Amino acid sequence: QDGSCNSMKILQDVSVFASVLEEGEKTNYLADDKRNVYIHVAKGELQVNNEVLHSGDAIILTTPEIINIKAMIETEFLLFDLN
């Protein structure tokens, strides 16, 4: 969006995050309720709220607030916060 923190500038209203979580590690993401969140699992197994995702799976959350994320095994994933 703005190329902040030496990130790549794109002409879209989106923030993209890449993450690696170890087995059992948890994190949360707080999204504005007017935005959408798309999560893509590149490798591993991830629990997003109550859904379990495997390598290649994705989920879109259209009315997110607090998103609970837990790695079932070591997992690499992308999170897109979109307008």
User: Is the pTM for the entire model greater than 0.85?
Assistant: yes
Cross-strand partners of 11: none
Maximum alpha-carbon separation in the chain: 36
Q: Residue 1's pLDDT band (boundaries 50, 70, 90)? A: very low
* CA nearest to 50, candidates 38, 59, 41: 59
> pLDDT by residue (tens digit) across 45-68?
999 999 999 999 999 999 878 999
Question: What letter would DSSP give residue 27?
Answer: E
